[in-house]
Structure 1
C-alpha cells in the first residue's frame, strides 16, 4: 500500500519513506504497468495506433476506419508514427506510448510484423491487433487472403490474352508482398507459354516509377503489369504516359488495394479491392472485445480473414490479336 501511494503520488507517506521507495524504484528500474492500472482506475478506453506506411492512400483509408470505429465505441486514440519506409518507432517512443495509459494497440502494416514493436508491446502485457499481418503470435490478425487475390487478378490478365506479364513486388519485409508474389506465380505456372519479368518495389510511388522504367526497358516489354499496390500501379501509368504508351490499348496495368488513388488517375485502375477501412474497424472491434475480457492475460493469437474483390475499370484490355 505504501509503494502504491508513492507511485500514485498520494498523501499518507512520510518524506523519508517516500525517498526510500523512490530510490528502490530507480535501483530496480521498475516501470509501472500503466495499462493494467488504467483498467482499474479509469473507465476511458485509450487505444494506441502505431503506423508507418509509405502509401498515403492506404493510410488514409486505414485511419478513417479506425477513427470511425473508435467514435462508435467511445475510444480515445493515441497515434504514434514510426520512421520512413515502414521503420518502427524508437524504443523511447514505444515506452512513452505504453506509459500513456493505453489499454491496447492497433498496428498498421508493416509494423504488425515488426519484432521490435511486437516484443516491446508484449513485454508491457498489452493486447494487440495487427492489420494485414501473417504468423503473428499472441496478437489478433485481421487481413485478406493476399495470395488468392493476386492469383485471381493474374488469372484475369491471362484470360484477356496476356502471356508476357510484368510484376512489381511490394516491401520485401512484409509477408503480404510474398503472398501476392506467390499468387501471381501460381497463376503463371498454370498457363503454358506464360513468361514474366519481375521488378522490386516497396509500395511507394517512387519505387513504382523505378520499377516501371525497368520493366518497360525490357526486350520485349510486358504487355501487362501487375503492381502489388495502387500507388505503384499509378506510377506505372505515369511512366507509360511519359513514354506515350496508351493505357490500356498498348499496356494493361492493374493494382492492389482499391484506395482512392485507383480512381483519381486516368484511366481508373482495375485493382483488387482490399477493404482497408473494414479491416481497420474489425481490428479495433476485436481488440476492444479482447480488452473487455475478465482475464486479458490469457490472450492468444487468432486470424480473421475478410473477403476481397476484383474491381474491373478502364486500365485493362484484351491483348490485340494482330
Structure 2
C-alpha cells in the first residue's frame, strides 16, 4: 500500500495524507481521523526515514548509561520506553563501558547516531565534559539521578545522602556496632554522597566509621562478593555489611554463604536501589528504593518537551523509601 492508496480510500489528496503523517498544521481534526482510519484499514505505515528527511529530525532518543547492574539498566530502559509510547520517537540504547575513560568520545558518538536528544544516567549525568560537549553540539538532554552541576541541564534527583543516612541508621538501631561498608565505583558521584550519609549516621550514634572496614567495590556482583570475602575471612568479622547497591549486596550474600554464615542470624546485609534482585534474593534484601523507572520517565519527558520547544522544569526531586526485609536483624551479640 502507498500514500496514494490511502488518499483514495480517505477521499483526500496525497499531499493531505503527507501533511497528516508529517504532523503539519492547518489540517482539520476530521480529515486527520479519516486519513488515519484509512491507513489502519489498509495496514499502511509511513516511512520513518522519509519523515526524518522531511523534518530534518531522526526521531531517535538516546539513553547513555554505564551501571553494570542488569536490573538497574532494565529499569532505565523500561522508563524511557514507557514515556515514548504513542510518541514518534524511538529509543537507541548506548551503554558505555567507562564514562570516565571515554567522556571525550561520547558526544561524537551521539552526533554520528544523529540523535534528536539524549537521556543521561549516572555517571554520564554528572560528567562536565559530556554536558559541555552536548551544549556545544546543540543536542537536547536530560539527566537521571544527577548530583552535580544541577543548573547545567534538566535533571531528576534523589537525595543520596539522606537515603544513605537512613539505611545506616536502621542498621545501627538494630544494635550493630561493628559495621563494614562496600563502596561503589569511585567515578560515580553517588559513591561519595552515600559514604558521607553513612558517616553522618555513625556520627549521630556516637560511632566511628573505621577505615579498615571500608572496601572498594565497582557496583558489580562479583566486586561485592570479593570485597565481602575479604571482610568476612578475618577473625573479627563485622556483624553487618552496608553495600552501596543491590548487586554488591547480593555478592556479599553469596560470600557469606560460601563461608557458611547465615543471613541475618550471623550477618546482616543491606543494599541500595531496590532492584528486582533485592526482592528475589533469599533472604530478600533490606534496601533503599529509588524510583529509577519514574526518574527515567521524567527525564525522557524533559527531552521531549525541549524538542517541542515547551517550558521545561530544571529539577524534579524524588523521594527514597527505606524497605526493610529479611536480610537484617539484631546482631548475635552487642559490641560495646
Q: Secondary structure at the match of 1:128?
A: strand
Q: Secondary structure at the match of 1:77?
A: strand
Contact 1:164–1:195 (8 Å) recurs in 2: no
Which residue of 303, 310, 326 corresponds with 1:287? 303
Q: Deviations over 1:261-312 (max 9, x none)?
A: 1122211101000111111111111221222226x9xx8x933220110111
Aligned to 1:313: 325
Give ranges in structure 2 of 5+ residues lacking alignment: 1-51
Contact 1:98–1:121 (8 Å) recurs in 2: no
Aligned to 1:210: 226
Contact 1:163–1:194 (8 Å) recurs in 2: no
Aligned to 1:82: 96
* Whole-angstrom CA distance in 2 between matches of 1:168 and 1:39: 50
| Aligned residue runs from structure 1 range 25-174, under 5 A | 41-42=55-56, 45-83=59-97, 87-88=101-102, 91=105, 94-136=107-149, 137-174=151-188
Contact 2:131–2:152 (8 Å) recurs in 1: no
How many equivalent pairs are there? 280
Root-mean-square deviation (CA, aligned residues, Å) is 2.4
Give ranges in structure 1 of 5+ residues lacking alignment: 1-37
Q: Secondary structure at the match of 1:162?
A: coil
Aligned to 1:304: 316
* CA separation of 1:268 and 1:85: change in aligned 2, threshold 3 A: farther
What is the deviation of 1:39?
Answer: 11
- Using structure 2 for the length normalisation, give the TM-score: 0.76
* Whole-angstrom CA distance in 2 between matches of 1:57 and 1:68: 16
Q: Secondary structure at the match of 1:256?
A: coil
* Whole-angstrom CA distance in 2 between matches of 1:281 and 1:309: 19
Contact 2:104–2:130 (8 Å) recurs in 1: no
* Whole-angstrom CA distance in 1 between matches of 2:156 and 2:301: 11
Aligned to 2:259: 243
Answer yes or no: is 1:260 the counterpart of 2:276: yes
What is the deviation of 1:42?
Answer: 4.8
* Whole-angstrom CA distance in 1 between matches of 2:195 and 2:273: 15
* Whole-angstrom CA distance in 2 between matches of 1:47 and 1:126: 10
What is the deviation of 1:83?
Answer: 2.2
Contact 1:69–1:284 (8 Å) recurs in 2: yes
Q: Deviations over 1:133-183 (max 9, x none)?
A: 222342112121110001000111111011111111111111111111010
- Using structure 1 for the length normalisation, give the TM-score: 0.80
